[in-house]
Amino acid sequence: MKQPKEFETKIGITFKNQDLLKEALTHRSYLNEHQDWPHPHNERLEYLGDAVLELIVTEYLFAKFPEFQEGYLTGLRAALVNYQMMARVAREMTLEKFMFLSKGESREFGKAREVILANGVEALFGAAYLDGGYDSAKKLILETVIPHLDEIIEKQLYRDPKSLLQELVQEQHKVTPSYKVIKEEGPDHQKTFTVGVFVADEEIARASGMSKQEAETKAALDAAAKLKTTK
């Protein structure tokens, strides 16, 4: 049996109601294989945690950047709370190690795994809010999510990567970047796409994703980072 106490030590919170923590860590798939499991799955807590996360991040950004307009703040918030960032936060707190998943879900990878982790960390925020109140959830979010803000600003991750890359390429090379699918792998329900981004006929970056759009976005992000270093 997994030991949530070890996870509590990792995140610096001791839950008064251990059932809330176990609910936050329980994926729907686990109940299919363990019908005697006494805790519900974490989707209701995820619903709550999503709202708690957005409020706390919004409050933080509003107070920290009084000079920024609504559009810029919205972009920063979106970059901080999207599922890729939440999956990253989940991995940093080793959430995956403590989640209750079915054997099948335990073997998932790519976007499917990232969504599971993102939902799990939002459920954790919801559980922290119910167990310790607003201040408990705020402390956890400020310690795990907000530290990524400097990177988001520095790398301009609040902007659409494809739009940013297009600006950089047009500024430096007077052409428009193009994208090409290099290969597709895997079964239809779990296909992985590898996409290259080209300036004229030169490939400047490539990346893989669970959809063409995801692969293009990752490739654009990598290409933009490379072009910035050569300016």
Neighbours of 17 (CB within 10 A): 12
Shortest CA distance to 210 belongs to which of 227, 194, 231, 224?
A: 194
User: Do residues 46 and 112 both lie within one domain?
Assistant: yes
| Residue 24 tokens, joined | 């936050």
User: Do residues 147 and 43 both lie within one domain?
Assistant: yes
Separation CA 178–CA 183 (nearest Å): 16
CB 76 within 8 A of CB 153: yes
Which helix H or strand E contains 195, and what residues bound it? strand 192-199
CATH number at residue 92: 1.10.1520.10
CB 141 within 8 A of CB 125: yes
User: Do residues 80 and 150 both lie within one domain?
Assistant: yes
Catalytic residue among 23, 50, 214, 216: 50
50 is catalytic: yes
Among 154, 174, 192, which residue terminates a domain?
A: 154
Question: What is the per-residue pLDDT for 2?
Answer: 65
CB 27 within 8 A of CB 39: no
User: Do residues 128 and 37 both lie within one domain?
Assistant: yes
Shortest CA distance to 124 belongs to which of 28, 15, 3?
A: 15
CATH number at residue 190: 3.30.160.20
**Local confidence pLDDT in tens for the 231 residues of the chain:** 567 788 999 999 999 999 999 999 999 999 999 999 999 999 999 999 999 999 999 999 999 999 999 988 998 999 999 998 999 999 999 999 999 999 887 676 677 888 999 999 999 999 999 999 999 999 999 999 999 999 999 888 888 888 888 988 999 999 999 999 999 998 887 789 999 999 989 999 999 988 898 899 889 988 988 887 765
Among 111, 129, 154, which residue terminates a domain?
A: 154
Question: What is the per-residue pLDDT for 57?
Answer: 98
Q: Phi/psi class of residue 207: alpha, beta or left (left: φ > 0; alpha: ψ in -120 to 50)?
A: beta
Question: What is the per-residue pLDDT for 62?
Answer: 97
122 is catalytic: yes
- DSSP 8-state class, residue 190: G
Among 154, 189, 217, which residue terminates a domain?
A: 154
User: Do residues 98 and 133 both lie within one domain?
Assistant: yes
Alpha carbon 59 to chain centroid distance? 20
Contacts of 65 (CB under 8 A, 6+ apart): 72, 73, 76
- Which domain, by its residues, includes 203? 161-230
Question: What is the per-residue pLDDT for 163?
Answer: 85
Catalytic residue among 23, 46, 105, 122: 122
